[in-house]
Amino acid sequence: MVDVFKALADPTRRTILDELTARDGQTLFEICGRLATNHGLGSSRQAISQHLDLLEAAGLVETRREGRYKFHYLNTGPLVPIIQRWLDPSESDGRPTGEAES
């Protein structure tokens, strides 16, 4: 399990999440194209693939194979403990979450 904060620390990874927010369920090719044309990020396909692996390990991105294609989906679930810890503590059980797992 990769720390969500570590996954969010990199600007390219945050931009990937931005683009998945714009349209969920993208191939690696589409993500690379959006990063290059919308953000001027000329990272190699291999580098983007590694960023996606890290986001997936943190639970922020889920991949699903549909037939012969592989699509990437945003999962905001791992962000909920962050909100509960600082923004809405009444909703949490009062225990700092996440750190023991990372």
Partner 1 sequence: MRIHLTSVLVDDQAKAEQFYTEVLGFVKKYDVPAGGARWLTVVSPQDPDGTELLLEPAGHPAVAPFKDALVADGIPYTQFAVEDVQAEYERLSALGVHFTQPPTEMGPVTTAVFDDTCGNLIQIATQPSL
> Is residue 26 at the binding interface for partner 1, with CB under 8 A as the rule?
yes
Task: Tell me the H-state helices in the chain.
Answer: 4-8, 11-22, 28-39, 45-57, 80-86
> Is residue 37 at the binding interface for partner 1, with CB under 8 A as the rule?
yes
Least separation in angstroms between CB 6 and partner 1:
25
Query: Which neighbouring-strand residues pair with 64?
Result: 71
Could you tell me if 72 and 51 are in contact, meaning their C-beta atoms sit under 8 angstroms apart?
Answer: no
Interactions with partner 1, residue window 42-101 (CB under 8 A): 45, 65, 68-71
Least separation in angstroms between CB 74 and partner 1:
16
Residue (28 or 82) nearer to partner 1, CB: 28
Stretch that binds partner 1, among 1-9, 26-34, 83-91, 94-102 (CB under 8 A): 26-34
Residue (4 or 31) nearer to partner 1, CB: 31
Task: Say how far apart CA 66 and CA 59 lie, in whole Å.
Answer: 19
- Burial class (CB within 10 angstroms; exposed 0-12, middle 13-18, buried 19+) of 79: middle
From the CB of residue 58, how many other CB atoms can be counted at a distance below 10 Å? 20
- Interface residues with partner 1 (CB under 8 A) are 23, 26-30, 33-34, 36-38, 45, 65, 68-71
